[in-house]
Amino acid sequence: MTEPAKATSLQETELLVTGIRELVTNDPSLERGSLGLLHNAWVLVRGDRIAAVGDGTPPAAPRRLDVGGRCVLPGFVDSHTHLLFAGDRSEEFAARMRGEAYSGGGIRVTVRDTRAASDAALRAHTAALVAECHSQGTTTLEMKSGYGLTVADEARLLRLAAEFTDEITFLGAHAVPAEYADDPDAYVDLVCERMLPQCAPLAKWVDVFCEPHSSAAFDADQTSRVLEAATQYGLRPRLHGAQLGPGPGPELAVRFHAASVDHSTYLSDADIDRLAAAAPHDGPVVTFMPIVEFSTRHPYPDARRPLDAGVTVALASDCNPGTCFSSSMPLTVAMAVRDLGMTPDEAIWAATAGGAAALRRTDIGILRPGARADLALLDAPSRIHLAYRPGVPLSSTLLLGGVPTPAAAPLFTGPNAEPTRTTTEGSPA
């Protein structure tokens, strides 16, 4: 087999994506609304970066990918996932549907199964979930540890996470493991004194399940201890907060300059005021994950409250084996519109640029020159179909770091609906 010739110039690495009926850029410099919408648009990609975007007549390029009148948007940025685990908790879900309350204790079941799993088994299971995310248009994933809860197991999960993403979060304070159930403060000592020295070099972020309404989670003092220790090792906080009831999580997120406070189902008026006051100063993003409420039968949060107060809002899947075994960002968008009070445009921004903000990234969640060439394709003429047609597999990843992926689009039957194809300029498809 002959190896393909290597490109001899930057121009030869260019790929033109054309035939875009509606392009969501999220680029405010275009002054085309919050989503920076372009119509009859094109995107020029050079290597793994966007070289140009525009509408009307496209430039020439050596390679052309015609999407046949469909909608293109930035790949989804899922800023909160728990994809590294073993085991199954479907019976726990069935119990909740029979009326049993969720208290956070099921995490220990996954810890037991994950500790017992081999690296190869964890790697294969995680790879399958990452592929599932990519197939639905997600191009950036945050990934947490948190199902090991020993020094060695947490470090192992962080090393495995690095095979899939750069957005790695140390979550040693996910739950108090069974062996420390009678002495949770001793477990916090372990996290601060032994885990962090080993795990901090393997992570970018630190997270804590701050939830006084769960006996397995951590109170305000314990959370503060972990965050204080972690920041000494250079980790930036993100936080589970106010998931099961009002609590100290949002206030701690502001105090510790967290990038995001996630769940936020039970934000108080005081929480909203604090978050709004911090917003102009790089304050926490509020990340909602509505499939969790669907899967736990908890009340849905009201996204209008932080949005109307000027707080940045993100959407994430929270894919995990207990409270939300779904990786679907499209479903997350649809539920945010239906159940959280967001408009379609607000939800799409939150699932792309909002997720990027929660990760403090400016090169993803946006389509402009210099950004990563991560593009999602909708088998529809408009971004509104993400909420308009919930549960329908409309979205897929088109380009991941500039590399075309199989992006079949069999559902849209408009007059320009042609199969996605990669062509060479001047050659037949």
Report residue 70: phi and psi, to 5°: -95, 180
> Tokens representing 244?
């099961």
Q: Using DSSP, state whether 140 is helix, strand or coil.
A: strand
Position 415 scores a pLDDT of: 35
Position 104 scores a pLDDT of: 63
The class (CATH top level) of 10-75+365-424 is mainly beta
3-state helix, strand, coil in the chain (%, to 5): 35, 25, 40
CA distances from 416 to 21, 66, 68, 284, 406 (A): 9, 10, 5, 43, 19
| Single-letter amino acid, residue 290 | P
Is domain 76-358 annotated with CATH 3.20.20.140?
A: yes
Position 262 scores a pLDDT of: 98
pLDDT tens across 210-241, in order?
Answer: 999 999 999 999 999 999 999 999 999 999 99
Mean pLDDT (the chain) is: 92
CA distances from 318 to 113, 114, 143, 238 (A): 19, 18, 10, 13
Of 377, 340, 390, 394, nearest to 24 by C-alpha is 377
Report residue 297: phi and psi, to 5°: 60, 30
Position 103 scores a pLDDT of: 64
pLDDT tens across 389-408, in order?
Answer: 999 999 999 999 998 887 63
pLDDT band at 343 (very low <50, low <70, confident <90, very high): very high
CA distance 61 to 31: 27
pLDDT tens across 20-64, in order?
Answer: 999 999 999 999 999 999 999 999 999 999 999 999 999 999 888
Position 406 scores a pLDDT of: 79
- What average pLDDT does this structure show over 277-283? 97
CA distance 188 to 229: 10
Least confident of 94-98, 118-122, 179-183, 366-370: 94-98
- What average pLDDT does this structure show over 407-426? 37
The DSSP element (H or E) to which 262 belongs, if any, is strand 260-263
Position 428 scores a pLDDT of: 29
Is 307's pLDDT higher than 70? Answer: yes
Is 1's pLDDT higher than 60? Answer: no
Query: What letter does residue 320 receive in the DSSP assignment?
Result: B
- CA diameter of the chain: 71
Instruction: Express as a percent the part of the chain with pLDDT over 90.
Output: 87
CA distances from 105 to 81, 101, 110, 143, 248 (A): 18, 11, 10, 21, 20
CA distance 36 to 238: 29
Of 396, 313, 306, nearest to 348 by C-alpha is 313
pLDDT tens across 17-28, in order?
Answer: 999 999 999 999
Helical H segments across 18-118, by residue range: 90-97, 107-116
pLDDT band at 5 (very low <50, low <70, confident <90, very high): very low
Is 11's pLDDT higher than 90? Answer: no
Evaluate whether 156 touches 148 at the Cβ level (below 8 Å): yes
Q: Using DSSP, state whether 225 is helix, strand or coil.
A: helix
| Single-letter amino acid, residue 165 | T
- What average pLDDT does this structure show over 155-179? 98
Instruction: Express as a percent the part of the chain with pLDDT over 70.
Output: 91
List the chain domain ranges: 10-75+365-424, 76-358
Residue with the bigger pLDDT between 417 and 341: it is 341
CA distance 77 to 1: 38
Position 6 scores a pLDDT of: 44
Residues forming a β-bridge with 81: none
Report residue 45: phi and psi, to 5°: -115, 135
- What average pLDDT does this structure show over 106-129? 97
